[in-house]
Structure 1
Amino acid sequence: MTILDVESVQAFVLVADFQSFTRAAAALDTSQAAISMKLKRLEDRLGEKLIERTPRLVRLSARGASFLSVARDFLAAHERAVAGLSTTSRRFTLGIADQVAGPELPVLLARLGAHDPALLIEVQLGTSRDLLDGFDRGTIDAAIVRKEDDRRDGEVLSEERFSWFAAPEFAHRKGEPLRLASLSASCGVRNAATRVLDAAHVEWIEVFLGGGMAAVIAAVSAGIAVGALAHRVAPAGVIEVGEKLGLPQLPLSEIVLHSNLSDARSRSALRTLTAAFREHRAQGSIKTAVRPRSIRR
């Protein structure tokens, strides 16, 4: 009878998900060599090659692809069994900034749930500043946010590119202030955007403020205003208009993780999420508009 060990199966699933031994190792807080050893042990026990690896590519073999769903079920069953032995419920509150939570968020949370079904995670969305205040008060256990100018702590997960986006039909009238849609006055992205506009002597006016990221995206998509958006959250159908409208370039922003989680299983779940976050950074391209006249004074 073939007996599988949980750690080897977990290593296989993470390598399959991330298509990377390095990211799988980061998710498990171990070394790439340890991941390779676990995967080899699993392949030896199954007598099958599960992962095809070249210097540039990591992918599932045909047998690996068919084994993946079974492996996920195996891990889920293991977690349910372990949870059944525990009398202590485990949960943590995760804050994710509006400008960080892209369209891949449901996939990331689903992966987190599959990693540890016994862990109850409460997700809060908000501005980076509001979430950091909650983290500092202890009402939020972990937060993935845009780095604020006055903070030097946190683990950097990625760099985020921001641009000016608008609907293709958005029209700016010469001599009028630039119409902006943004989150609340405490939003760091809003403050960075207005600073660069002021420095470039571009007049602006907010015609849509607050209401959450979905509302801001709706206003931009409707052609009401221009929005300073991360590429990961810019919706289909909008275009970059910075060059077209002669707007100053927006600065890059670091996305950072703050965490005060102490128990090993919660930290492991969070590592899985952050490794998946790095893997799923927006790779798609948004069409850039052609350049007409500038609106600068």
Structure 2
Amino acid sequence: MKSLDIEAVQAFVLTADLQSFTRAAEVLDTTQSAVSVKIKRLEEALGRKLLERTPRRVRLSSDGSVFLDGARMLVAAHQGAMEVFAPKQRRMLLGISHHIVGAELPQLLRHVGRADAGLTLDIRVAASRELLAAFDDGDIDVAIVLRHDSRRLDGKVILQERFGWFGAPDFEHRAGEPIRIATQPQPCSVRAMALRSLDASGIAWTEAFVGGGVNTIGAAVSAGLGVAALGRRVAPRGTVDMAARLGLPALPDRDVVLYTHLRDQQSRAAIQSLTTALRSTVGR
């Protein structure tokens, strides 16, 4: 009976989840070529092709889809055995900007949970300004926020968030009338960025909807009440960027920055899994 290389199986599961050899390598703290070699040897051991490699993305083959659930169970069992003598449940207080995380939150949490079953995530989703204050006060261990200016340049940039003017496909705007905006109340840095862009372009606007949180704004946009400045990853499914159609100004990109007080190896590995999973969602 053949035995499987557990590291190769783990590399396969991560590559399947993240649809990228490069992202899997980041989580495993190794190289893309090393991950590729491990999976190739796993395929040879099984006599099955598990992944279909394309220039832009990695996809599961039919055999890979069949193997994936069993591979997950094997990795989980191995991780459970390794943690028998490890310290018991740990807690991470994580703050993440609501302009950064959207419908992919369950996927991100699932990924971190699989990477560290002994970790309890205590998550706060709020405005970047509020989270940075909580981080500085020691109320949270990790903050993932938007950087809107150069007043604070510490932290680690993990990706760039692209913003657009999103609206429902059937959103109606009459020529000559102010553009209807769905936004958050002051103070909100994204709101300020959006309104500055409109004012600088000489575009008249009016608040059609003011609500708390990106999910609320997204609901108003989907309902056709107005357009909103939203990150492309958090814009509701079915909405489209209305900038060209309505003649709206381009919005600047913003750095997504990681701050952490945690330095132990296990916590750093969990944070790496989270940030890698976040980067894998870029591309809308």
Q: What does residue 195 of structure 1 align with?
A: 196
**Aligned counterparts of 1:179 and 1:58: Cα–Cα separation in 2:** 41
**CA gap 1:167/1:33 in 2 versus in 1, 3 angstroms:** closer
Q: Which residue in 1 is equivalent to 2:95?
A: 95
Please show how residues 1-297 of structure 1 align to structure 2 within 5 Å: 1-39=1-39, 42=42, 50-51=50-51, 58-149=58-149, 150-172=151-173, 177-283=178-284
Cα distance in 1 for residues equivalent to 2:236 and 2:33: 40
**Between 122-131 and 159-168, the greater mean CA deviation after superposition:** 159-168
TM-score by length of 1: 0.82
Q: Deviations over 1:131-161 (max 9, x none)?
A: 2222222222222222231232333333222
Describe the SS at the equivalent of 2:251.
coil
Does the CA contact (< 8 Å) of 1:129 and 1:148 recur in 2?
Answer: no
Task: Write the distance in 2 (CA, Å) between the matches of 1:58 and 1:222.
Answer: 35
What is the deviation of 1:266? 1.9
Q: Which amino acid aligns with 2:133?
A: D
In the alignment, the residues of structure 1 paired with residue 211 and residue 85 of structure 2 have an alpha-carbon distance, to the nearest angstrom, of: 46
Contact 1:28-1:271 within 8 A present in 2 as well: no
Q: CA deviation at 1:242?
A: 2.5
> Alpha-carbon deviation of 1:47?
6.0
8 A Cα contact 2:88 2:118, kept in partner: no
**Matched residue of 2:17: which SS?**
helix
Aligned partner of residue 140 in structure 1, secondary structure: coil
3-state secondary structure, aligned to 1:236: coil
CA contact (8 A) 1:79 1:118 kept: no
Residue segments in structure 2 that go unaligned for 5+ positions in a row = none
Change (3 A) 1:170 1:64: closer
Residues 1:64 and 1:199: Cα distance change in structure 2 (over 3 Å):
same
Q: Residues 188 and 63 of structure 1: is their aligned pair in 2 closer, same or farther, counting only changes over 3 Å?
A: same
Deviation at 1:178, TM superposition (A): 3.5
Unaligned stretches of 5+ residues in structure 1: 284-297
Which region of structure 1 is more displaced relative to structure 2, 156-165 or 89-98?
156-165
Q: CA deviation at 1:169?
A: 4.6
* Matching residue of 1:289: none
* Count of matched residue positions in the alignment of Structure 1 and Structure 2: 283
- 2:94 partner SS: strand
Cα distance per residue 1:103-145 (max 9 Å; x no partner): 1221121121112221111121111221222222222222222
Deviation for aligned residue 1:62 = 4.8
Which amino acid counterpart does residue 27 of structure 1 have in structure 2? V
Give how far 1:171 is off: 4.1
Match of 1:85, SS? coil
Assess, with a 3 A threshold, how the Cα gap between structure 1 residues 236 and 52 changes in structure 2: closer, same or farther.
closer
Deviation at 1:71, TM superposition (A): 1.6
